[in-house]
Amino acid sequence: MGQRVASGQITIVDLNDGRAVQAYTSTSKGETQIYNPDTKVYTPAYSSSSPQTVTAKVYVSGISADQAPTSACTGWAWKVNGTAVGTSGNYTFANNVLSIKADIATGTKYLNIEWECTYTDPDTGAQTKVLGYKTLALSQSGGAAGLVVFELPNGDTFDKGSAITSLTAKASLMRGATKDTTIKSAAWEKLDITTGTWKAATETNSLTGGVSTITVTANDVLNFQTYRVTFTDSENTSETFTGYVTFMDATDPYIVYVRSTTGDKIVNGAGSTEVYAEVWLDGKMVETKGAASPQFTYTWTKYNQNGVATNWSGTTSPTKTGNPITVTAADVNVRATIYCDVAKK
C-alpha cells in the first residue's frame, strides 16, 4: 500500500454535515521540566530571554491552514492554574501564543494552562467557542531516575504556507537535571493507526552525544503521527527508557468527500446504496468512482452504532477495497459509519 494522502467517512442514517472545529495545543520545550534539588538546576530552563511558549491552534474541516493566527479567531483569553493571564509578568500572551518566563515552582509542581477564543465562520457567520488545555509538569530527582525529554526546534506542526519542509525531535535521557551522554542505543518507532501497532520508523534518525534525533516530512504525517523512542542503558542493557512525541500535519492538500447515490438512509431494512469517494486537490476533483486508471487505492472500514469495526455482510473482514462500493441493508444495524482511507498507488 502506498503513502496515505487523505481520508473521509460517511454515516449511513445519521450524517453530520456540520463544519468541525478542533483545538490543538503545542509547546516549544516539551511538557516536562526537570529540577535537580542537589544542583538547583532546571532542564529545560524558562527565562525572559528563552521562554517556554505554548501555542493554541484551531483547525476547521475543509480549511487546511491553522485559523488561530487569523482574524477568524477573536476574544482570546488564557489562564494558568486558574488565574487569568495578562500582558506583563512571568506569564504573558499575544492572541494565540502564551509565554512562560519563569521556571515551575517546586511547591507548585505543575502548570494547568487553559485557553479560549471565538471562531467565526467566514461563510455563515456562525460562532463557535473553542477551548484548549495543556498541563506542564515538574519532575524532581536527585539524579538516579531516568526520564526521556524532547526538544522540538521548529515545533510539532506543519502549517500551510510555512517554508518549513521538515520537523525535528531531539530526544535525551535525563537523570535528574543531567543529560546521560553515555547512551549508545536508541530505537525509533511509529504508531500504525490502522492496526494500533508500533513499527520501526524509516524516517531519518541518528544518535550523537546521547541525543537521538528524528526528522520527519509532511509526507510522513497524515493529520497526526505519534513516534516513540526507546533508549537502552549502556551498562544495564535490560533497563530501557521510553518517550513519545506527536507531530501534526495541517498541510495535506488532498481532501476526500464520501458520497452516496441514494442518500444516507436505507428504508424498512431493505435495499442498498452505492457509496463512493471523490478526491480533491486545491479545489479541483482529481478522481472519483470508476476511474479507468485510478491513481489511488480505497480501503473502506465499517463501524457499527457503537463505534466497533464489524465485518461486511457475507465476509470475514471489516474492510473492503474499491471505488465505488455497495452498502446493503444487512450491513446497517440502526447506524453504520463507513471510513475511507485513500492512498497513492
Nearest of 306, 302, 305 to residue 315 by alpha carbon:
302
Domain residues for the domain of 235 are: 154-251
Backbone φ/ψ region at 131: left (φ over 0), alpha (ψ -120 to 50), beta = beta
Cell numbers at 177, concatenated? 537535571
Contacts of 224 (CB under 8 A, 6+ apart): 246, 247, 248, 249
Query: pLDDT-derived band of residue 192, with 50, 70 and 90 as boundaries?
Result: confident
Phi, psi at 25, each rounded to 5°: -130, 125
CA torsion sign for 140, 153, 223, 218 is: negative
Tell me, yes or no, whether 36 and 123 share the same domain. Answer: yes
Tell me, yes or no, whether 28 and 130 share the same domain. Answer: yes
Alpha-helix runs per DSSP H in 132-242: none
User: 199-214 pLDDT, tens per residue?
Assistant: 999 999 999 988 999 9
Query: pLDDT-derived band of residue 177, with 50, 70 and 90 as boundaries?
Result: low
Please report, for the domain that includes residue 210, its CATH number.
Answer: 2.60.40
In a domain, 121, yes or no: yes
User: 297-342 pLDDT, tens per residue?
Assistant: 999 998 887 778 899 999 999 999 999 999 888 888 777 888 888 8
Lowest mean pLDDT: which of 25-34, 242-251, 307-316?
242-251
What predicted TM-score, i.e. pTM, was given to this entire model?
Answer: 0.48
Helix (H, G, I), strand (E, B) or coil at 218: helix
Tell me, yes or no, whether 306 and 247 share the same domain. Answer: no
Nearest of 244, 241, 214, 212 to residue 227 by alpha carbon:
244
Tell me, yes or no, whether 27 and 84 share the same domain. Answer: yes
Tell me, yes or no, whether 135 and 41 share the same domain. Answer: yes
Tell me, yes or no, whether 22 and 132 share the same domain. Answer: yes
Cell numbers at 111, concatenated? 502548570
In a domain, 4, yes or no: no
Mean pLDDT for 152-161 is 81
How many domains, the chain? Answer: 3
Tell me, yes or no, whether 171 and 239 share the same domain. Answer: yes
In a domain, 128, yes or no: yes
Tell me, yes or no, whether 123 and 165 share the same domain. Answer: no
Tell me, yes or no, whether 209 and 179 share the same domain. Answer: yes
Among 82, 116, 140, identify where a domain stops. Answer: 140
Tell me, yes or no, whether 117 and 179 share the same domain. Answer: no
